[in-house]
Structure 1
Amino acid sequence: MGSLRNYLLLLLLITALPSAAGERVDESMSLGSITHVTIENLRGEVTVIGNNGDTVSVSGELDDKAEGLTFEKSGSRIIIKVEIPNNSHNSWGADGSELTIEMPKHVRVSFKGVSSNINISHFTHGSEIQTVSGDISAKDLMQQIELATVSGNIESKNLSGKLRLSSVSGDIHDRNSTGRAHFKTVSGNLSSSSSANEISANSVSGDIELKLGKVDELIVSTVSGEFESQLSLNENGLVKMSSVSGDLTVDFTNDVQASFNLKTNAGGNIVNRLTSAKATRAKYGPSSKLSFDTGNASGSVRASTVSGRIEVK
């Protein structure tokens, strides 16, 4: 009877233990003439690093539920994919993959994940990163760059080229970007310290804060989010802003030379700290408008809101 009791206790202990850790991997292959590497990982943490070598390497630990790793050449690309059975996609308590992938920095990288965080750095020929609930950390990337997540946050630094950063409910924090930048959020907040000369930013309820350099074009739209920006408007430059109830504020760091046309439609307020010109109320209805010029008026500043506040200074 005692041996049976001991056997049952041992069986109970074994079934209570957590599942074994995922498989260890350490593989590499020569790049050859390949120019594009695609990576897929359902969950976990993936670090992708560009270097001056000529091989692609994968090391770390696979997802607990992984059947294995696909690491192969297919046509003009190398495919790296953590293979997860369809019935394991929502496995509660499973540990995701922890992988480090290194490759030549001139490779174009594509990444897809679900609840997978991605850290990517030092690539010169474009990066396309998509994840659902994971965070994205990106630095020192060039050319065509797309970073997209649904509920994750985006942290970026030293991006240059044509940039597209988007998150639905997560925040975007961008530093030291250059080139042309497009930012998009729904309820997440956006902050950027950028030298990009063409910028567009869209938000629904998230706040937008931009610290910019010399700008040729800035286009901003928000529904209820607040918008604040510092910038130097170049000759013949354009600033165009719109909101429903969100406030719009621009602080010009140069002696701005532009024509200004500012308008509210339903009781909003216009504050002009550049000249002595004052907004005028419509004879009928709650709208107001203000038009004035500074300097040679070569640039253009347009702003409209339904019920928000517009301030230029």
Structure 2
Amino acid sequence: MTAVLPAPRASASTAPDAETVYRPGFRLDFAGTLAMLGRGPYDPTTVWDLRGMWRTWRTPEGAATLRLSRPSADGGVAASAWGPGAGWAIDAVPRLLGRDDDWSGIDVAGHRLLRDSLHRNPGLRLARTGRMLEALLPAIIEQRVTSLEAYRSWSRLLRWYGEPAPGPAPEGMRVTPTLEQWRGIPSWDWHRAGVDPRRARAVQAVLAVAPSLERAVERAATLDEAQAALQTIPGIGVWTAAETLQRSHGHPDLVSVGDYHLAHQVGEALIGRRVDDDGMLELLEPYAGHRQRVVRLIFASGFRFQRRGPRMALQDHRWH
């Protein structure tokens, strides 16, 4: 999750452009369901406070700021939105809060940690943003570097090129750039933001075909076809496609193969020892169709694997 930022700034008119109260009809783990949206403590698109979450979107209708309040006593989630894309943002609330994510078929009765985690987190759902490009670009920036490096790069780019958030959003929030604005970022600013040439080329490859890529993903008959469409772009591999579709489509089965720590955590959680990616996939095979849900249950359980050996060194890509 992101760090708490200052209170919303004053505004001459703070009345939302659209609002609703969404009642899920199921017990909702509000924080757990939305936890994967923010890209670290510096992300200017996602801010948490004691009452809920602020999130900005680049919607098909334009910029939007969405405010979601934690569920009330009757389970209702109050949602307010500002900006040209406010209506789109409000319409997206049910899928963002996991309405379409069905956990009824998952069977974890045979593993104590998973069974206990599911029992303690019955309202956990996979969020679905519906915004493929907004999930894909930061995933590329996160390739093969530490999370801290990637989070800083993402924050710099949005501070420099993002649009100020509509409405009474907390100070400093930004909406991701338009496609034209992303394409207009000069090479030296990618470098200055700490994004090395290899990742910058992968971003440019996506931006060059973004409209057709989005259409291909939207028209895919299955999530496997959507993954294959993403991986036709140079620089987009299994890890990046998984990180994207987990957020944009709430993919219940894709696992981030190639992650620096994930296989270690899954191995230690499930069998008490570290494994590599192949070992992780073998352990998760009995849960095929629900493997991402199992990973989320491991995260939600509070289990943390024991870090051993050297950590990845922080690198400054801006001056090389």
The TM-score bracket by the shorter chain reads: under 0.3
**Structure number with higher helix proportion:** 2
Instruction: Give the number of the structure with larger relative contact order, counting CA–CA contacts within 8 Å between residues 6 or more apart.
Output: 2
Give TM-score scaled by structure 1 length.
Answer: 0.21
Give TM-score scaled by structure 2 length.
Answer: 0.21
